[in-house]
Amino acid sequence: MAQTVDDEEAREPHFPVVVYATDEHRLGLKSVTRRVWAPAGERPVALGHHRFKWLHVTAFVAPATGETVWYLSDGLSKPFFEPLLADFARKVGTGTRCRVVVLDNAGWHTKPSLAVPEGVRLVYLPPYTPELQPAETLWPLVDEPVVNRHIANLDELERVVEQWCKTLCDQPDVLSSRTSFHWLPKTTKPIPKLA
């Protein structure tokens, strides 16, 4: 990955290179449960559904700054991922910086037929290594508003998660502290803030 960043800096010396990581997370109507404190002798109860309806959360995070772009969807596929990647490229400033995106080898991420926007370089992690994915550390934070909570339907789940993702966008230091792995290349030029 460091070589990819160096290549991009050499190819576009007037643009800063920003490393992003992207990953997907699935939330459903079945409750996310965690341990909680309870009075001695009482067992806490967390209601939930046993339905298999899902909301997918996709995050693009810049570990160096904590800048994050979130997407919510009802499924994942290559035809979905291509326009999402193009929209991400527009949102993070096409023409103002180079973007190196770290991602896993999910079927919808892979080439040869994946259209990659201009100014975006994809770097694939080795197979079966979620521990190397910086964006993977976001999911316990994303789960926070739905832990041990009964959500009636997917619309309510989407509202809750959307609001929480907006809240997380206002906490770039928290996101950066979780995703800034020591092995990620450090940027050498100042990164312009998103408008």
Q: Give CA torsion, residues 134, 149, 80, 7, to 10 deg.
A: -10
Percent of the chain at pLDDT > 90 equals: 46
The Cα–Cα gap between 118 and 102 comes to 16
Q: Supply the pLDDT for residue 191.
A: 54
The Cα–Cα gap between 69 and 29 comes to 24
Q: Supply the pLDDT for residue 38.
A: 87
Q: What is the mean pLDDT of residues 40-49?
A: 84
Confidence check: pLDDT of 154 > 70: yes
- The domain limits of the chain are 2-31+52-179
Confidence check: pLDDT of 82 > 80: yes
Confidence check: pLDDT of 101 > 80: yes
Q: What is the mean pLDDT of residues 158-185?
A: 92
What are the b/e assignments for 1-37, b being 16+ CB within 10 Å? eeebbeebbeeeeebbbbbbbbbbbebbbebbeeeee
Amino acid found at 134: P
Match domain 2-31+52-179 to its CATH number in 3.30.300.30, 3.30.420.10, 3.10.580.10, 3.40.640.10.
3.30.420.10
Mean residue pLDDT across the chain = 86
